[in-house]
Amino acid sequence: MKQTPIIDHETAEAPVFEPGNLLEGARRQKDLPDGRVPAGCVLDMDGELVERLVASGRATLDPAWPCFHTKLYRWRAGDAEMGVVGGTVGASFAVLVAEELFASGCEALVSISSAGLVASDARPPFFVLIERALRDEGTSYHYLPSARYAEADPALTDAVARALAGIPTPLLRGASWTTTDAPFRESASLIAGRRAEGILSVEMEAAALVAMGRALAKPVTCLAHVTNAMATRPDDFEKGGHDGQEEALEICSHRRRCLRPPQRLRKGSEAAMNEKRIYLDFNASTPLASQVIEAMRPLLTEHFGNPSTHHWAGAPAKAAVERARTQVAALLSCEPDEIVFTSGGSESNNHALKGVFFANRNRGDHIVTSAVEHPAILQPLRRGTRSQISP
């Protein structure tokens, strides 16, 4: 039986449709020159910030932006030039434009969207720096394996929070609920459940953008401008007029000025290294790829039972182990019962060496190896086998 299509997606596979190819096709059709966008870009979901910048004479249209669906404006924020695209409402549209921006030279992206209030102990308007987004949409599942939340890069979020610490605008950090498919189906019981989960706001893009950033190792910051209680209060959707728009622009410009895109160890890695250091010990330890983190998160936080037990808590973990065994066997073109999981390299070496040795004792009982081998090889051979270690 096939899985539900929204989760029947192998996120590690390379895509066929690349943003660079789409932009190149658009550039040809529109007869546009090659060009790069500013290093820092903003997705303005409502488009009001773009309108404010244009009306005040601070933004100019970029004539070389080749996107079929949007216009990009350039705006100077202090000593830095930024790009801003308006009207990118909804998860799928937001990531389409975000990937095009990154393919065109963007190095750090911030999104800002109007959001509804979920928390009961706050009053709009205020801003939320989104640390995790509930994945109640479909787009994020095409970037990361299934999980309840898309988790923003903690180091990135901390850096942005430090950069924004001095601003007068009310700013909270926490979780948001991303729901794209049916915004008018948010019932009272559903909202109460999200509130009990500790969620602050509801919007339509963050989970997809966070998942895209983690999957592609791109620095993405999502901000929610909480302006309403989902049309349940007389003063709902009051954003503070031009003052509110200027506050949003100030937050975006602070984020760009105070944060440089992190230097990644490799694509998919979530660890950043000092610019003057080069890590050359991947043989000993490597940073986890974002896809691994997302795949393991449910097993570390929700389904943490011992897979070797027979009670209910261990069943999901056991199913995950067996599923992984089947997947590895398929990659190696062997049977699942030929796959043995161990705790690490030393245990694996022990299994391989002693397994081969004792299984073939009728053919000989002597192993020759080199003195430069790792202790995980030498020590097992010194214990329980006749071995010769050559210098």
Percent of the chain past pLDDT 70, that is, above it, reads 86
The answer to whether residue 90 scores a pLDDT higher than 80 is yes
Which of 11-20, 50-59, 268-277, 343-352 is the least confident region?
268-277
Which of 106-110, 272-276, 290-294 is the least confident region?
272-276
pLDDT of 342: 87
What are the residues facing 221 on neighbouring strands? 110
Average pLDDT over residues 25-43: 92
Average pLDDT over residues 87-98: 95
Q: How far is CA 249 from the centre of its chain?
A: 24
Q: What is the mean pLDDT of the chain?
A: 83
pLDDT of 266: 41
pTM of this structure: 0.64
pLDDT of 144: 93
The answer to whether residue 262 scores a pLDDT higher than 50 is no
Band (385; pLDDT cuts 50, 70, 90)? low
208-218 per-position pLDDT tens digit? 999 999 999 99
The answer to whether residue 236 scores a pLDDT higher than 80 is no
122-158 per-position pLDDT tens digit? 888 889 999 999 999 999 999 999 999 999 999 899 8
Better-predicted residue by pLDDT, 177 or 1: 177
One-letter amino acid for residue 169 of the chain: T
Band (235; pLDDT cuts 50, 70, 90)? low
Q: What is the CATH number of domain 17-258?
A: 3.40.50.1580
Would you kindly state where each structural domain of the chain is located, as residue ranges? 17-258, 304-341, 342-391
pLDDT of 78: 74
Better-predicted residue by pLDDT, 318 or 182: 318
pLDDT of 29: 92
Band (388; pLDDT cuts 50, 70, 90)? low
Average pLDDT over residues 351-361: 79
